[in-house]
Amino acid sequence: MKIAYSHLVQHIEENPSIEQISDRLFQLGHEHEIDGNIFDMEFTPNRGDCLSINGLLRDLAVFYTVDLHQEVFTEKLNELLIDFENLSESICPQVSFLKLEIDHVPEIYKDSLNNYFLDLGLNKNNFFTDVSNYLSYETGQPTHCYDANTIKGKLLFHEIEKNEGFETLLDKKIALTGKNAVFSLNSEVINLAGVVGGKSTSCSVNTKTVIIECAFFQPEAIIGKSVKYDIQSEASHKFERGVDPDSHDRVLRRFIKLVSEHANIKDMSIISYKSKDNPIHQITVNVKKINQIIGINISEKEYLDYLSKLGFVVEEGFIKVPSFRSDIKTQNDLAEEVARVIGYDNIAVSEINIPKNEKASHKAIENKLRFFLLDHGFYEVINSPFINLSSEEAIRVDNPLDSNREYLRTNITNSLIDNLLFNERRQKDSIKLFEISDVYSSSNGINKKRNLSIIASGRVGLNYEDFSKKINKKYLTTLFQEILPNEVFDFKIVSRDFLNTKIKNEIVTLEVDIDKFSSDILSYNEVSKSPEGFVQFNPISDLPSSSKDISYSIKDFSKTKELQDLLLNYQSEIIKNVYIFDYFKNEKQEEIKIGFRFVFQSKKTTLNSAEIELVYNDIVSQSLRIEGISIPGI
């Protein structure tokens, strides 16, 4: 909600700056951004009472001297004769109708009404709707204006449950479905209660006679309607959060006053329907409890002073909660009020000492498995559980994001296959991934399993020992037998026939319930450790990479390290990775053959061969300056 600084400060004697008010609003829990002289407020859902100038001023009154100086019409009003019946008093326990007839439609607005449109840069609609919108901004109570000439016949408030068409005053045609609280005129819906009025009875720029409806709706009946029908409605935003049920008389009298400042009122009458009195909620005065909750020590006088500034009334040992604060019900609620006034940041900390208890290591087997896999070059991944494929046991999401994410996965392996193909498309030739996750299925109720799934394909590793070895079932079986010699694992080969890939490497997978692993694994001594810190992420490139190999012959063995140091530390913006993929020491011929693979990739552009050659040639040239080293073929 946007609120102009000038509209607040004109009521505050101390004349605080926008920054001073901003600080106080944050202290009170009213998050906002400042855009010029406008506060863009974001209120918590329990503070519907603050969705207005007056509401916000009620809170700021705890710090400042606030004078609303908003005049209201004070004279007696005639009773309006209207054929109205309320069939759903539980949803709308009170409603008032005010009828006004003016001599002319004003073209120029004065004072606060004019400033509202000017300062917030809003477009005008028609006079009565404009007054209604302003009053909602000033008081927090939405009202709805009907052109009185269109209200002829039986007016009903009721909850309907039938499919019905409805055209809003903003020309949007919607199909009402399910339960809806509505006003109907002669059986036709003319107002989706608390959300938006209908076109057939709306005011126009020519309307001189108006019926203003001012109601209280139970939030439960309004919540979700604006989203359901895709209607932007400030009224529903307020009704959903609760409005002040005791404000109607003042709001309508303020309406009359504003209208009278712009036109002569020829006729006016009012009628109010109220099915029950609004109860006054009372809480016992108990400053000891408040101090205990917050961990402070304030006096009862100080405590009650804070509350009275916020509009609470203290009588005979009880705190009477004002009608606009439907969120206050308990001592904890009052403690929050006090804490807000003091300022959360001004409450001194008190040392906490939670009793320590020694517990067995949580998920010990699972964690041991993770580090075992890390040791062998596997990367942990996390995948979304939403899938489009249905199996008989898959649990269906009633309200999926889209049809591709309609079910919950019943296995992890399929996600890992997608991950593998994703990385293969990025020229990765050694892929080892694992994921541990809950998976759910439905057969005789909801079943949960915690599975480990692994997938591996391509080279065993990117070093001179593993480069030429390919991952296969035997490799993984051997790996697991080392730590769990007594257990048999059902490794599977995934067929590439339906995977839309030209790569031929064998894909091996395993998916096992974690509970199936024996505690034997706990004796495994891992090499990998959790990172001690949090490394800074280096943005990655989605552009294609390419690799180039250089194989050296070294006759002067003492130069081997010099060559390694040069090449493994060679700096270039387009070198992504370099490693030794081949090493052979021929004692007989007194020769070392060593192969380096350079992976080229740019973060800015797709590399062309000339750009790669430039760096490649420099590498070759620098390396050949080392005596006793040659590149066969060059």
Partner 1 sequence: MPAHKDILPPELIKDRGSLHPINHMKDSIMNLLISFGFEIVDGPEIETEEFNFDMLNIKKSHPARQMHDTFYVENKSNLLRTHTSPVQIRGMLEKKPPLAFISGGKVYRKDDDATHLPMFHQVEGIYVDENVNFAQLKDLIYKIIYSLFGEEVELRFRPSYFPFTEPSAEVDILSKEGKWLEILGCGLVNPVVLENCNIDSNKYSGLAFGLGIERIAMLKHGVTDIREFYKSNLDFLSQFK
What residues between 367 and 406 interact with partner 1 by CB under 8 A? 370, 373-386, 395-401, 405
Exactly one of 26, 273, 475, 570 binds partner 1 (CB under 8 A); that residue is 26
Number of residues that bind partner 1 (CB under 8 A): 113
Q: From the CB of 132, what's the least distance to partner 1, in Å? A: 25
Query: In the bound complex, what is the minimum distance in angstroms from residue 346's beta carbon to partner 1?
Result: 10
Choices 97-105, 294-302, 506-514, 610-618 (CB under 8 A): range interacting with partner 1: 294-302
Comparing CB distances to partner 1, the nearer of 342 and 484 is: 342
Which residue's CB is nearer to partner 1, number 35 or number 79? 35
Q: How far is the CB of 313 from partner 1 (least distance, A)?
A: 22
Residue 385 CB, shortest distance to partner 1, in Å, is 7
Taking Cα atoms as reference points, which of 195, 211, 191, 73 lies closest to residue 129?
Answer: 211
Residues 154-173 that bind partner 1 (CB under 8 A): none
60 neighbors 5 (Cβ within 8 angstroms): no
Q: How far is the CB of 526 from partner 1 (least distance, A)?
A: 10
In angstroms, what is the minimal distance from the CB of 454 to partner 1?
Answer: 11
Tell which phi-psi region holds residue 424, choosing left (phi > 0), alpha (psi between -120 and 50) or beta.
alpha
595 binds partner 1 (CB under 8 A): no
Q: Which is nearer to partner 1, 198 or 377 (CB)?
A: 377
Identify which of residues 150 and 331 has a Cβ nearer to partner 1 in the complex: 331
**How far lies 203's CA from each of 169, 207, 238, in Å?**
9, 6, 22
d(CA 634, CA 617): 11
Residues 34-73 contacting partner 1, CB under 8 A: 44-47
Residue of 301, 448, 504, 604 that binds partner 1 (CB under 8 A): 448
CB of 353 to partner 1, least distance (A): 8
State which residue, 123 or 357, has the beta carbon closest to partner 1.
357
Identity (one letter) of the amino acid at 563?
L
| Contact present, 146 and 245 (Cβ < 8 Å) | no
CA distance 287 to 37: 39
- Closest approach of Cβ 559 to partner 1, in Å? 10
List the structure tokens of 632.
């066969």
Angle between helices 111-120 and 127-139 (to 10 degrees): 80
Q: How many residues does the chain have?
A: 634
Distance in Å, CB of 219 to partner 1, minimum? 6
Tell me which H or E stretch contains 536. none
Residue 271's CB: how many other CB atoms inside 10 A? 16
* Helical packing angle, 300-309 and 287-294, nearest 10°: 90
Place of tokens 């916000």: 56
Which CB sits closer to partner 1, 384 or 608? 384
Q: Which of residues 567-586 bind partner 1 (CB under 8 A)?
A: 579-580, 583, 585
Least CB distance to partner 1 at residue 44 (A) = 4
Please classify residue 202 by burial: count the beta carbons closer than 10 Å to its beta carbon, then call 0-12 exposed, 13-18 middle and 19+ buried: buried
For 214, the 3-state DSSP assignment is strand
131-160 burial: b if 16+ Cβ within 10 Å, else e = bbbbbbbbbbbbbbbbbbebbeeebbbbeb
The three-class DSSP label of residue 167 is strand
Q: Does residue 198 belong to the site contacting partner 1 (CB under 8 A)?
A: no
Footprint (CB under 8 A) of partner 1, residues 328-367: 330, 332-333, 335-336, 339-340, 344-345, 347-357, 359, 362
Locate 468 and state its tokens.
């030429």
Query: By C-beta, is 348 or 610 nearer to partner 1?
Result: 348
SS3 159: strand
Distance CA 248, CA 598 (A): 77
Task: State which residue, 81 or 382, has the beta carbon closest to partner 1.
Answer: 382
Stretch that binds partner 1, among 2-10, 164-172, 414-422, 508-516 (CB under 8 A): 414-422
Nearer to partner 1, 155 or 471 (CB): 471
Least CB distance to partner 1 at residue 355 (A): 6
14 near partner 1, judged by CB under 8 A: no
- For the beta carbon of residue 181, count every other beta carbon within 10 angstroms: 23
In sequence order, what are the residues at sequence separation of 6 or more whose Cβ sits closer than 8 angstroms to the Cβ of residue 87? Answer: 156, 157, 158, 159
Is 302 a binding residue for partner 1 by CB under 8 A? The answer is: no
- Of 508, 366, 364, 488, the C-alpha closest to 437 is 366
Separation of alpha carbons 490 and 42, rounded Å: 55
For partner 1, the closer CB: 246 or 591: 591
- Beta bridge partners, 448, equal 440
Name the minimum Å distance from CB 628 to partner 1.
9
**Smaller CB separation from partner 1, 426 or 492:** 426
Question: Which among 72, 106, 74 is positioned nearest to 255, based on CA atoms?
Answer: 72
Give CA–CA dist 62/583, Å, rounded: 78
307 class by beta-carbon count within 10 Å (0-12 exposed, 13-18 middle, 19+ buried): buried
Give, as ranges, the residues between 239 and 278 that touch partner 1 (CB under 8 A).
240
Verify binding: residue 541, partner 1, rule CB under 8 A.
yes
Residue among 253, 209, 1, 273 nearest 122 (CA): 1
Name the segment binding partner 1 (CB under 8 A); options: 95-103, 143-151, 199-207, 532-540: 532-540
Q: Which of 443, 523, 530, 571 binds partner 1 (CB under 8 A)?
A: 530
Contacting residue, 50, 113, 210, 294, with partner 1 by CB under 8 A: 294
Using CB under 8 A, pick the residue from 121, 557, 613, 627 that binds partner 1: 557
CB of 175 to partner 1, least distance (A): 17
Helix residue ranges per DSSP H, 92-247 = 111-120, 127-139, 219-222, 225-228, 234-241
Name which of 259 and 483 has its Cβ closer to partner 1: 483
Taking residue 598's Cβ as centre, other Cβ atoms within 10 Å add up to 22
Tokens 């009477």 identify what position? Answer: 320
Cβ proximity to partner 1: between 187 and 531 the closer is 531
Residue from 537, 604, 608, 632 touching partner 1 (CB under 8 A): that is 537
- CB nearer to partner 1: give 130 or 336: 336
Counting contacts by CB under 8 A, is residue 423 touching partner 1?
A: yes
- Please choose, out of 252-260, 261-269, 280-288, 552-560, the segment that lies near partner 1 by the rule CB under 8 A: 552-560
Residue 571 C-alpha from the chain's centroid: 42
Between 169 and 294, CB nearer to partner 1 = 294
Q: How far is the CB of 440 from partner 1 (least distance, A)?
A: 6
